Amino acid sequence: MQTTQVHTSSSVNDIIETPMIGASDLKILKVLSLLIDYPSNELFLGDTLADCTEIVARSTIISPEVRAQIIDLIEDLIDTGSLEAQARYDGLFERGRSLSLWLFEHVHGESRDRGQAMVDLMGQYQEAGFEISVKELPDYLPLYLEFLAYQATVIDDDIQIRMDIADVSHIIALLAARLEHRGSMYKGCFNALLQIAGKPLDIVEEYQEKISKEKPDDSFEALDKEWEEEVVTFLDAQQEERCSSQTSTQNLAAKAGVRANPNAVDAPVHWVDFKTNQAVKP
């Protein structure tokens, strides 16, 4: 089996120049992976952000409005520069758990079931020949998106990849709502993922009332309380005897701490083509 090593901070060209994904609209997943990940210094080197802008502007699987949101974020990153962008990112995603980018944290929290979930997801990566060469947990959202971008280079099934995103769409919608509540430009990336999954952006509004009642978890008091909690070694949990659990990316939304739309039905993800003549900022 052919194996590829992944570096979440790698250039967007590492994926774009792969022949198959070069003709696929799903190359935008690589762009979203880079933008949602920590804005390392490498992101600001060369033409990486300019290439990201070009790919977003040409995408036909997200709406013109969402394309503009992402381009605004990219332009803001360019204007802000790496140091300020990194400080802002730390204050947003790395203080508290409400905006955690580790998917299973929203599903299993700090329970030991998260360890088996990690093992199962890692098994999917290995089976696909996707080798992680960075020190990162497998449920880290930018890493998962890079895995799906890689999958687009080896399987001819864009619908399956879209459905994989749909499996975690309720988590993504909750994060999008929290980002919108904080006035963050990163919300555009999560709106794009919802549209790629075939989900209407109306589902983000369903969480607005819920999050308006949440207590901030990025205050000094909340952070002190978090440090007092017992540390759980997730990946060691597989060594304990317990009942097996359904912990693959399939059905994550059903297990998350958010409820699905009661009117939803099991159905294939619909293709949405946003081809339009509407101008988008280059």
d(C-alpha 109, C-alpha 112), whole Å:
9
- Report the domain count for the chain: 1
Q: What is the pLDDT of residue 272?
A: 45
Residue 120 has pLDDT above 60, yes or no: yes
Residue 97: inside a domain, yes or no?
yes
> What is the identity of the amino acid at 174?
L
Q: How many other C-beta atoms lie within 10 A of the C-beta of residue 210?
A: 13
What is the pLDDT, as a whole number, of residue 97?
A: 84
pLDDT(237) > 60: no
Assign 3-class secondary structure to 189-219.
HHHHHHHHCCCCCHHHHCCHHHHHCCCCCCC
Share of the chain above pLDDT 90, in %: 50
93 lies in some domain = yes
pLDDT 10s digits, 7-65: 444 455 554 444 344 556 898 999 999 999 999 999 999 999 999 999 999 999 999 99
Please give the Cα distance from 71 to 55 (Å, whole number).
Answer: 10
In a domain, 203, yes or no: yes
Residue 68 is assigned to a structural domain of this protein = yes
The interaxial angle of helices 48-58 and 64-80, nearest 10 deg, is: 170
Q: Is residue 151 part of a domain?
A: yes
3-class DSSP state of 11: coil
Q: What is the pLDDT of residues 179-225, one digit of tens each?
A: 999 999 999 999 999 999 999 999 999 888 888 777 765 544 544 44
Query: Could you tell me which of 180, 222, 213 has the C-alpha nearest to residue 69?
Result: 180
220: Cβ contacts below 8 Å, ≥ 6 apart: none
pLDDT in tens, 255-276: 444 444 444 433 333 344 445 5
Residue 271 resides in a domain: no
Is the residue at 212 inside a domain?
yes
Average pLDDT taken over every residue of the chain: 77
Q: Tokens for 70?
A: 């992402």
Q: What sign results for the dihedral spanned by CA atoms 154, 157, 160, 164?
A: positive
Eight-state DSSP code of residue 271: P
1 inside domain: no
Give the structural domain span for 176.
11-254
